[in-house]
Amino acid sequence: MSVALLYDELFLNHRDPVYSHPECPERLIAVQGALMQAQMRDRTSNRASRPATPDEITRVHDVAYFDGVQRDVPGQEGHLDPDTFFSEGSWDAALNAAGGAVDLAVDVLRAEDGLTSGMGLVRPPGHHAEANRAMGFCIFNNIAIAAEAARAAGAKRVAILDWDVHHGNGTQHTFEKRKDVLYLSAHHYPFFPGTGSHREIGRGEGEGYTVNVPLRAGGGDAVFVSAFDQIFCPIIAQYKPDLLLISAGFDAHAQDPLGGMSVSDDGYRVLARKARQVAEQVCGGKIVALLEGGYNVEALGRSIVGLLEELLADDLGDAEQIAPSADPQLGKVMDEIKRTLEPYWNL
């Protein structure tokens, strides 16, 4: 397996100018330490970032929003919304996060240099950013921009699997009226940002191509495994994307200070393995994961090492098995999701 790691020190220059904020450069510094310890640098190739072009960004964001950010953010400090700070380095970080994600997605899609998959260790994160505004620590929607770039580069269908603990409202809204990009999310619900009910299944042409699995507070490995086994993997297998993108947030981890759920290190490995198994079935294992949330820096480092090990694994045989949830309440939600999606998918 040939796995690329996208990282740039520019991503460290985006920091809350006043307060200590959970979405901080120390997250990536801790990840670098964990990668070093796991000798991951020797097992993966480095990818440089580059600034996204205005065209790449405005496939997802309104020109007026892009122009406003370009006017207000470079070299400045402040807030784009109450949660979303910017500092002197934020403009370059945000542009390079998006541009690096574009290149990684296109290179994996084309199997450039034999590349099979990749992970973008990017900041700021992206999945809450809407077409016309920043939101929830996110300035540009990196994963949506990467999906559009993959489409423009020839992918007929792209699937985005979002396992961040928060619902990716911005990503959903970008693609909810389309069937060429499938969006699937499991998330703590009700919770920030408030969207992500299982009744949100897309609109118009895109009906059936938005798939939400809302999860109650405290849920852990088993509920995510249920969502993957019963809903996500069968749908991805039927959709047959040319590329699987993962909004890889690790804030559903038991040690996360914000997420309110209890996924373990092993749980994330199992989710990564399940994603890889279905990607092997349908698209030659082509996966690009982009970092979203994850605010306990030690747990974040361990979880990312686990994800990379699953992307690198030659043998996808017997992983640690985690039993699906036996919670009757979750069972009811799953049954309702299946009924709602019945016209579109065989579940």
Give me the least distance between CB of 127 and Zn ion, in Å please.
8
Smaller CB distance to Zn ion: residue 15 or 166?
166
126 binds Zn ion, rule: CB under 5 A: no
Q: Which of 84, 116, 74 is nearest to 15 (CA)?
A: 84
Smaller CB distance to Zn ion: residue 11 or 239?
11
The residue from 128, 173, 187, 198 that is catalytic is: 128
Spatial distance between the Cα atoms of 180 and 282, rounded to a whole number of angstroms: 15
Of the candidate spans 80-88, 93-101, 160-168, 328-336, the one that interacts with Zn ion by CB under 5 A turns out to be 160-168
Q: Footprint of Zn ion on residues 291-310 (CB under 5 A)?
A: 293
Task: Please count the other Cβ atoms lying within 10 Å of the Cβ belonging to residue 54.
Answer: 14
Give me the least distance between CB of 300 and Zn ion, in Å please.
12
Smaller CB distance to Zn ion: residue 44 or 172?
172
124 binds Zn ion, rule: CB under 5 A: no
23 binds Zn ion, rule: CB under 5 A: no
170 binds Zn ion, rule: CB under 5 A: no
**How does 68-96 read in b/e, with b if 16+ C-beta sit within 10 Å?**
bbeeebeeeeeebeebbbbbebbbbbbbb
Q: Which value, to the nearest 10 degrees, does the dihedral of the CA atoms of residues 54, 60, 65, 66 take?
A: -10
310 phi and psi, to 5 degrees? -70, -35
The residue type of 251 is D
Smaller CB distance to Zn ion: residue 16 or 107?
16
251 binds Zn ion, rule: CB under 5 A: yes
176 binds Zn ion, rule: CB under 5 A: no
Spatial distance between the Cα atoms of 207 and 205, rounded to a whole number of angstroms: 6
Spatial distance between the Cα atoms of 306 and 205, rounded to a whole number of angstroms: 37
Q: Which of 166, 167, 187, 253 binds Zn ion (CB under 5 A)?
A: 166
Of the candidate spans 3-11, 88-96, 244-252, 325-333, the one that interacts with Zn ion by CB under 5 A turns out to be 244-252
164 binds Zn ion, rule: CB under 5 A: yes
The radius of gyration of the chain's CA atoms, rounded to the nearest angstrom, is: 18
120 binds Zn ion, rule: CB under 5 A: no
DSSP 130: B
168 binds Zn ion, rule: CB under 5 A: no
Q: Which of 281, 285, 259 is nearest to 115 (CA)?
A: 285
208 binds Zn ion, rule: CB under 5 A: no
Does residue 87 contact residue 258 with C-beta atoms inside 8 Å?
Answer: no
Peptide bond into 17 cis (omega under 30): no
Chain position whose Cβ is nearest to Zn ion? 293
User: Which run of H or E residues covers position 307?
Assistant: helix 297-312
Give me the least distance between CB of 198 and Zn ion, in Å please.
19
Of the candidate spans 179-187, 217-225, 230-238, 246-254, the one that interacts with Zn ion by CB under 5 A turns out to be 246-254
Task: Please count the other Cβ atoms lying within 10 Å of the Cβ belonging to residue 9.
Answer: 12
Question: Is 128 a known active-site residue?
Answer: yes
Of the candidate spans 106-114, 195-203, 239-247, 250-258, the one that interacts with Zn ion by CB under 5 A turns out to be 250-258
Interface size with Zn ion, residues (CB under 5 A): 5
Give me the least distance between CB of 342 and Zn ion, in Å please.
30
Of the candidate spans 20-28, 242-250, 307-315, 332-340, the one that interacts with Zn ion by CB under 5 A turns out to be 242-250
Spatial distance between the Cα atoms of 181 and 144, rounded to a whole number of angstroms: 9
Give me the least distance between CB of 164 and Zn ion, in Å please.
4
Q: Which of 42, 15, 41, 43 is nearest to 27 (CA)?
A: 15
Q: Footprint of Zn ion on residues 77-106 (CB under 5 A)?
A: none
27 binds Zn ion, rule: CB under 5 A: no
Contacts with Zn ion by CB under 5 A lie at 164, 166, 249, 251, 293
- Give catalytic residues, as residue numbers: 128
